[in-house]
Every structure is written in structure tokens, then in C-alpha cells.
Amino acid sequence: MISDYFTDTFIRLWELLTFWRYPHPALPNMRLNPRDTEDNALMVQFFTWEASHPQMSWWRHFEAEVPNLAAMGVTQVWLPPPNKAMRKQGQGYDAYDLWDLGEFYQKGTIPTRWGTKEELVRAVAAAKSHGIDVLIDAVLNHKLGADRPERFMATPVEPTDRLKDAGPTREIEGWTAFDFDGRADKYSSLKWTHEHFTGLDWDHRTRTKGIYRITSNKHKGWSKWVDSENGNYDYLLGIDIDHRHPDVREDLMSWGNWVLQTTGGAGFRFDAIKHMDRRFLLAFIRHVRSTLGRNDLFSVAEYWSADLEQIKPYIRVFQGLVTFFDVPFHYNLHNASKAGSRYDLRRIFHGSILKFRPSDAVTFVDNHDTQVGQTLESWVGPNFKLQAYALILLCGEGHPCVFYGDLYPNKECYVAPVAAGLKRLLEARKKFAYGARVDYPQEANCVGFVRTGGRGRPGCAVLISNADHPGLTAGSDAVNGTGMDGCDAPRTSRAHTIRMNVGSESAGTVYKAYMRPAYTMSTGNGTSNTQDADGLGDAVVRVDADGWGAFTCPLGGLQVWVRADAVPDADSD
């Protein structure tokens, strides 16, 4: 439809002229640490795609882990969607009823996959008492699991160009009526029908799959304020919500206030924003901030694209009220893990939000969508996993998010040595990663940086490497990283050395390697061999009178160096 193309072009020109200037960065004006200390803030995503606990509900598991998370330095936890799903074991992204947090008998169950409303509220209260904010995963783009079908007029569109009709308008039957009988109008009386949606992907009458734009004199077609991929990317999956409908806007705005007040949540993670009317989402955030008096409300959005240029307009439009998961940086980490020593580490930040607008970036290594077998599979392999975490946790920019699957035992993606190394890096972030950063891009396969410390906080020196291990064959456990924690390297390997300046205040001091626990390397015959770090014994670096020291790390590994007088003997084992 030619008029749609012109309208789309006009809208993008209007946005460019209106929001041509970038807003103030988002992170400095958001609450990252509820206790308002100068400690480093840290987010944890507390679930994997198939997360479950054998003895208790997920909400009870989270409550039990709250003290441990606080001890690690966690200040925010992103929980899975708390709403009732279309299936008993649905993760919540298959959103059925946002107002049912595990309170009503719907879809064959009272609790959600994650537990009951009462358990959720209790867990959030426990988190708050330990200085941890909880983020609500808001699935506002679509609904699934309707209670009954309706008949209405719709137009099939081309999947790769949703502005182009694929056939004539006709009557179809779609599962678009949501009655929520089990909730009996508690909290919200809105009954959703096809009038509240823009499209769907199934004609039940003809049993035909496709993308259908709902058509009537009350419908306005696809929203124009969405991503332009596939011509118009309003439709993603399920039954697509029309955020221009006044009943929809009122219901969702009320839910935003209610869910934070009911659960004790402190902010939102917004799912799939490239498919949502961005004017609505901006109004939603402003409404919650204003009505609840939370001008420091934390919000992070998922705009899934490896291309920074696609994200830039959204950074402008959301006017400093939203942070963004740094998907381009994630893909850099993924590509580095796939390429091995062929990847130039000096370009690891290239094209990332972290480099472009660090105070708008929420950095992450992996999440539930990037797991092997998931829709956005782009897993960072164990050969580079800890180097990746060292970058997001210790670099001093952006707001890092750690993935449950890398930290806690699970059946999907857990690697015990990676988890052990990650816990050590979390300690390093909490204790030593302070002050300005000075980079030392030594070579393609080894880079380093120094955190200078300050205000009574210690700093650290960090090196990461993706070089190959000499003497080890490709595919061996050591090369693949599955048999080592990334902290050390076999005795037969050589170490990188980078001269770095840790500051005049550290002149004449001694630095110790913090990532120095012994590691267990598979020998390939079912046995294991425990060795010291790179054969260096009690390795130290003596800093000269000008603050310079020769710091090392193993090939294909990493090292974090800290002042010996800042590390108790028991902490350096």
C-alpha cells in the first residue's frame, strides 16, 4: 500500500526532526542500588528458559537465594514474567492474563510456572530487606490462550512486507476473546475482543496459518510507530495488542501502577519493544513515574538487533527514560567466542551501545533467548565466557547483568568451572573495580585495562586473552574451555605480559593475582589433574617507583591483579 510507505517515511522524518538531539543518559537518573551507596550496582537475571526447582517453587527458590545474592553484590534482580500464561508451565511470555499473578484458577492452575502471588510478594519483600530491587518483566506486546474464538474481517499480508496485502479481505475466525472468568473482574473488568488487537497468525475457520491484519471501520491497521523491519514489524506473535485503543491504554496503564504496588517491584524490563507502539510505551513509563512519584524508575528495554544504527533512534525517542540491553555488544562477545584467536580483541567494543552511549547500556553475556536451541541462539562459549564477564563486570561502564544459567547449577547451560570463575569475578567487582579506567590495547589477542581506584576504594589491573594454547590440540577440553575456569593455563603455555601503570599512589607496592585458585583440567581419559596457575607459584608483580608493573595472564585466559595489602591471605587462596 503506497500510502503506508509514505506515512512511514513521514513518521521517521518527523521523529528525526523532533528528536534529533540525544537526551541526557538514562542510568545516572535511575535507581540502580536501593541503598544509595557508592558500591558497584549489579543486576542478575534470575531464570533460564526451562528454569525449575525440584523441591520448591521458583519464587521460594529466589527468596532462599536472596542472602547469597546480596553477599555477591547484587542490587537488582530481573525475574521472569509473573503473569498467568496460556499454558500451566508457560514462562509468561505466552501472556494470558497480566492481572493474575498466581491467584486465580485459570488455565488449569492457580500458581504460574513460577509460583503463587503470595510467594512472589514474600520473595520481593525479602529482596528489599537485603537491599535488592526487583524488576518486573512486562509482556505488553501480545496475548495468547484466548477463551473463545470470534469471527471478523481480516486481510492476509505478506510475511516479509506487512504493508503489502497477500489476498483479499475476508471473514476469518480467530481466538481473540479473553473473558478471564476465573478472575471474575477482580482488579480489571476489561474483556478483550478482536477490537483490542491489530493482527493474528491463525484462521481457525480454514485452519490456515499466516499473518492477518484485522480490518473494520474501528481498526486503524498496524501501528506506524514500530520498527520498519518487514515493512512494518507491529506483528510478532500471538494476538497483537492495539496500543492505540483507549480501553487497552487505560487497562495497561492501570496494570503498570498496580503490579509495582502489589508486588513491591521497583522497575520494568520491557519485552520486544521493536514490535510495540513506542508512543504508548513512552506514555506508559511517564504515567507510572508520575502517578507513583518514582522519577528514578528503572526501565530496560529489549530491542533485539546487532546493528547499533537501528537502536540509535530508539535511544533518542525514549528521552533518557529507558536503558537498552546492549545486544550489539553481546554479538561481539558471541563472535569472539566463535572465532577464537582470529578475533581482534582491540575491536571488542566496536559498534556497541557501551562504546556509543555507555550510560544507556545494560550489558550482558547471555540470556534465556541466546541459549542453545532458543529462537535467538547466540551462545558465548566457555572458551570466552569468563573473558566476556570480566569485560562487563570490571570495565566500569554500563550496567552489567549476570545470567542465572552461568551462575547456578541447571540442566541447560551450566559449566561448573565457569560458575566458579564467575563468582570470583563478582567478588572482584564488589571489592576492587572502582575508579577511572585506562586501556592498554596491547595486541589483537591480548588487551588490558587498569581501574585506578579512588575515594578509599582499591583498583585493579585486568588482562584478557583469546590466544591459542600451544601444545594443545583443537577440540581438547583445555582449548575449548570446558576443563578450566579461565583463570590459569597449563604449565606448557606461555603468558602474555603488558606493562601498565596503576598510579603513583601504588608505587612500590606488590600486586597479587586474584583469579588464582587451582583449576582442574581434563586429561581426556576420565581423570583430572590439578595444577597451580601457569606454573607461577605465588606470582606477584612489583610496581616500580613510577607506578608501572609488568602484569601477565595465560594464553586464552584472563587475570585480575589487585594490591596484596587489599587482599586478606584467606581471600587469595
Which residue, 410, 335, 403, is CA-closest to 364?
403
Q: Are 416 and 53 in contact (CB under 8 A)?
A: no
Is 271 in the active site?
yes
Nearest-angstrom CA–CA distance, 135 and 293? 17
User: Which of 302, 326, 406, 485 is an active site residue?
Assistant: 302
Taking the chain, what is the end-to-end CA distance rounded to the nearest angstrom?
A: 68
User: Which of 271, 360, 366, 477 is an active site residue?
Assistant: 271
Starting from the edge strand earliest in sequence, which strands make up the sheet with 540-542, in order?
A: 437-443, 446-451, 460-465, 558-563, 510-513, 540-542
DSSP 198-242: EEEEEETTTTEEEEEEE-STT---S-SSS--TTS-----SSEEE-
- Cα 129–chain centre separation: 24
**Cell numbers given for 185:** 473482574
Give the angle 344-345-347 at the CA atoms, nearest 5°: 80
Q: Are 152 and 174 in contact (CB under 8 A)?
A: yes
Nearest-angstrom CA–CA distance, 407 and 425? 11
Nearest-angstrom CA–CA distance, 331 and 246? 39
**Cell numbers given for 371:** 541459549
Secondary structure of 163-182 as H, E, C letters: EEECCCCEEEEEEEEECCCC
Is 377 in the active site?
no
Task: Provide the annotated active-site residues.
Answer: 271, 302
